[in-house]
Structure 1
């Protein structure tokens, strides 16, 4: 029952609803003891020949009144208790979602999306059931059972009550054992469901890749095996779950046998009347629900405890990026200065960046080039504060970037990542994502700067075209340019294009760069690229190799040095000429 203790913070928060609901349940339990007593009284009147019309009408009126009151009270306790349980699920769901938005990229490298979705759906449903049906079964089984036992012992026969309850300790031991096993098996079942959820999410997201490689049958077989594993784990849970009702029914059956056997002897001996024995067996029938509910309670509680443990463990994950006290809330402006002695990714032994030192003046354009894996994107992630564990500092506008709030820092930066992500919404909504209040003119202007306006106007519904999940209906170049338009609409102090022109042709690239140069005067731009034509106009070019700066300067300076930059530029120029069918 430790899950109730863990959830006590919520019960205290909703104490008015829960206390009122529990009080109503107690009243309901008391009222349920009245009908069996009335039945016994009526039977004794009939046996003794004292039944009159007025007597029958009086007791029928009592039964009808009890039924009406029970109807009303049962409605209200459901509203109060189950309604509060829904609030708990909502609160935990909001807390989880807020937690997800605060976590750094390393968190999502360690966690699977499908698993996180399972936490926010399946686990929360189990917790909600604990706070709703769990409280119901706990209170109802205890109060109804107590009232029934008290009524049996005090108004009929305490001896027969003790005899009838002799098998109950066996049930207590059995259900406790079942509960322990159920907790372990349900935890494994939830983990299997999380894996299946993750498999479905990955397969649907990557369906085009699966189809292009003709991997459909293999993927279906992989899903079938994981689905089968979920079934096996849940059947293992069901096997234990299925033991509760038969065990309780067997114990209650033995209690009935003892009650009828010894009760009949007591009637013959004159210790009980026929009506009292009928009332006693009716009360014993009422005990079936508390006993069944007690077994069901173990089931609910163990499921809820396993799910709550999983959710709390997830919420206990600490945010790796912490804001300083009294952090600056105004977005930064000014020069950007890198002075990084060393940066190593978590759980890695080899540094990804070493001895990175340069100054980018406000309004300048920085080009970052190098081989794949040279550290270009890593350099940008540090500016965005996706990681803080580095030796050295990065200053923006005269302050170390950790002195700003995350909102302030990122409000000054428009970032277009390599893995451009579009939402399943309209083109307009995707462009205006960071500025929902943007006017139609602002959206169109940003689209024109990104050289995507013409393509959009050719879509069936123009700016109202639904792009599909992750932009599935668009080409790579179109997705890149919509992502660029989204960043441009912010008119950020710093625009970062992380290899964001790789999917467009050379002429489109040139038009985009010319538009940026014309419309971003006085604002800083950072471009990483493999195609050197994208950065040859930059005020400063940094060449990375193995996480180190091997060359730095303008295009003209680097061409005179005849190093890696010169060789790569000449090679790309040659490739361009060959592609165009030109002559050297």
Structure 2
């Protein structure tokens, strides 16, 4: 029953729908009391030979009319009640998606994709089912049960009614115990379902690698283990679930036995007529549904409560990066970075320390260094995916932590080192940040990213579906489409996080030339392993173990002893060897 208190905010808001459905349920419950009463009248009339043929057909017509009216009213309350519960589903999923979009990478370090999908689908369905069927069965069982009890007690015999209710308190206590067990076991089963979702999602997204390494059987056995564990935990739920109906039927059976035994004695002694006992047994038969509905209500509400607790725990999780309140003015400004120290939330070791530089509008900043030296971490801080642990990053003299996130991110276009394409057309992927872009603008961005010719060679050109995550494209094509997407935004700051790693040297050179033409007054930040991409940078920062070990332009760094000079010579030698034509083997 906790779920009804947890969803009280929604019931109050949609009170008209729920009140209308409850009112119709009460009317239906009252109408359902007529047939047993009329059957008792008919039986007593036939037994006493006082029932005429006209009255018999009149009573039968009234029973038929009642059945038709109940059918129509049931249709109306279903529209009201389930319409409200489906609105709840839409709202919960909207809130859930909004919460996911507000979160930052630290959140996704704690939560896996499969678990989030399970909460957004399976858990929401359970809550909605409880808000619809749960409310129905609660009202229907209470109204119908109380109405039947009142009629049996006042119209037939209150003594026989009390006698028939002896098994009910025992049944209620047993069902309450089953409900508590079901809540805990279903919560565990839902967590197991999340793990199963995780396993399926990871296997599907990495299917190419699995096939490349011949791991199909290994992955299948792992999935089978997770599926078996999920099945066992769901079986524990089913064991509790299976106890509800037998408990109800045993209780109803005992109540019928007591009613028939006691009622027969009352008929023999003249306290009841045979028609009244027949009506009483029929009324008692009507109690089967309220009792089953009550048990079913406990079942689905406990499931819904366990699911809602999983959803609410995620909805109440505050973002680790809090949105600022200070807006940015339209003019451009110097980006000032003064990072004394930064470490990730899950790691106490410093990922960056003593990183200080200023980047003037329209300049290009280059970042390089060994793998894992802190380049991508710096770019994540500039995008404010995390907040600086010690120090500050300021723009227009305002700390990024105080600035409205949308204002800051609207000034940036980012191409990450792992480009992501949606399962849509090439044109729609390029126009992701500017949906109203014209075909000419999309093509111009593709030409600057040197991917226009590749697109034209696709089966439907710009209207070609790229598949999930761009599965039908090469790594270089995906990178260049991502660059075109960023260029189309025409943002003030362009960030390229090793975004040219999958293209050949000649294409890289052409893209950089196009960037120089495009970005005469744009601020560009490039992180790259190929140093040829950094030649035009006004300043280059060389990272090693999270700190800046060298800085300067290309000429200065290439002439100074250190990592940059060594890597530059190595890459020049590698390029020279690639340009030497292969000599023919002697015959």
Q: Which TM bucket (shorter chain)?
A: over 0.9
Corresponding residue of 1:4:
4
* Cα distance in structure 2, aligned partners of 1:143 and 1:448: 71
Deviation at 1:579, TM superposition (A): 2.4
Corresponding residue of 1:573:
572
* Cα distance in structure 2, aligned partners of 1:165 and 1:402: 66
Q: For 1:271, what is the secondary structure of its paired residue?
A: coil
* Cα distance in structure 1, aligned partners of 2:546 and 2:216: 40
Deviation at 1:333, TM superposition (A): 2.3
The reply to whether residue 391 of structure 1 matches residue 390 of structure 2 is yes
Corresponding residue of 2:484:
485
Corresponding residue of 1:445:
444
Q: Unaligned 5+ residue runs, structure 2?
A: 583-587
Give the count of matched residue pairs: 582
Deviation at 1:18, TM superposition (A): 0.4
Greater CA drift, 423-432 or 56-65: 56-65
Corresponding residue of 2:413:
414
User: What does the per-residue CA deviation read over 1:273-310, in whole Å, with 9 as the maximum and x for residues that have no partner?
Assistant: 01000000000000000011111111011100100000
TM, length-normalised to structure 2: 0.98
| 2:365 and 2:525 in contact (8 A); partners too | yes
The reply to whether residue 207 of structure 1 matches residue 207 of structure 2 is yes
Corresponding residue of 2:168:
168
* Cα distance in structure 1, aligned partners of 2:40 and 2:186: 45
| 1:331 and 1:409 in contact (8 A); partners too | no
User: What does the per-residue CA deviation read over 1:25-79, in whole Å, with 9 as the maximum and x for residues that have no partner?
Assistant: 1111111111101000100000000010232133123212311221121111111
User: What does the per-residue CA deviation read over 1:409-457, in whole Å, with 9 as the maximum and x for residues that have no partner?
Assistant: 1111000001110000000000000000000111000000000001011
After the TM superposition, which residues 364-403 of structure 1 pair with which residues of structure 2 at under 5 Å, given as runs?
Answer: 364-403=363-402
* Cα distance in structure 2, aligned partners of 1:295 and 1:48: 41
* Cα distance in structure 2, aligned partners of 1:49 and 1:110: 79
The reply to whether residue 527 of structure 1 matches residue 526 of structure 2 is yes
Deviation at 1:405, TM superposition (A): 1.4
Corresponding residue of 2:311:
311
Deviation at 1:572, TM superposition (A): 1.1
* Cα distance in structure 2, aligned partners of 1:369 and 1:329: 30
| 1:333 and 1:412 in contact (8 A); partners too | no
Stretches (4+) displaced over 3 A: 329-332
Corresponding residue of 1:119:
119
Deviation at 1:522, TM superposition (A): 0.9
| 1:332 and 1:408 in contact (8 A); partners too | no
Corresponding residue of 1:147:
147
Deviation at 1:173, TM superposition (A): 1.2
Corresponding residue of 1:55:
55
Deviation at 1:404, TM superposition (A): 2.6
Q: Unaligned 5+ residue runs, structure 1?
A: none
* Cα distance in structure 1, aligned partners of 2:134 and 2:293: 9
After the TM superposition, which residues 130-279 of structure 1 pair with which residues of structure 2 at under 5 Å, given as runs?
Answer: 130-279=130-279
| 2:339 and 2:388 in contact (8 A); partners too | no
Q: For 2:500, what is the secondary structure of its paired residue?
A: coil
Deviation at 1:331, TM superposition (A): 5.8
Corresponding residue of 1:502:
501
User: What does the per-residue CA deviation read over 1:171-204, in whole Å, with 9 as the maximum and x for residues that have no partner?
Assistant: 1111111111111111111111111111111111
Corresponding residue of 1:459:
458
Corresponding residue of 1:85:
85
Deviation at 1:560, TM superposition (A): 2.4
Deviation at 1:400, TM superposition (A): 2.4
* Cα distance in structure 2, aligned partners of 1:395 and 1:557: 28
Deviation at 1:372, TM superposition (A): 0.6
Greater CA drift, 344-353 or 58-67: 58-67
TM-align CA RMSD = 1.2
* Cα distance in structure 2, aligned partners of 1:425 and 1:363: 34
| 1:92 and 1:124 in contact (8 A); partners too | yes
* Cα distance in structure 1, aligned partners of 2:27 and 2:567: 85
* Cα distance in structure 1, aligned partners of 2:578 and 2:218: 39
